[in-house]
Amino acid sequence: MQDYTVLRELSGSIGTVFLVLSFLGFVLYAFRPGSRSVHEDTADIPFRHDDKPASDQDISAAHSKEARQ
């Protein structure tokens, strides 16, 4: 019974460490230096066709650009 208790506490600690390291990895990945252009492009999606509706050519170009990323 004592082995179960030790393993249970150890797995809880290891799980916590794993989740903290995963979170830090995700944050570092999101704020890496090369991702600024991707984030700016994604943030501008709602405003791309503010002045006029998108044409069929614009839509197909946007789909092909998104597929390449």
Domain ranges, ordered by start, for the chain: 1-47
Q: Which amino acid is at 20?
A: V
For 3, the token pair is: 């082995």
Specify the 3-state DSSP secondary structure of 53. Answer: coil
pLDDT band at 65 (very low <50, low <70, confident <90, very high): low
Q: What is the pLDDT of residues 6-59, one digit of tens each?
A: 888 888 889 899 999 999 999 999 899 888 888 888 888 888 777 776 667 766
Which pLDDT score, from 0 to 100, does residue 63 have? 66
How many Å separate Cα 40 from the centre of its chain? 14
Note the pTM of the prediction, 2 decimals: 0.53
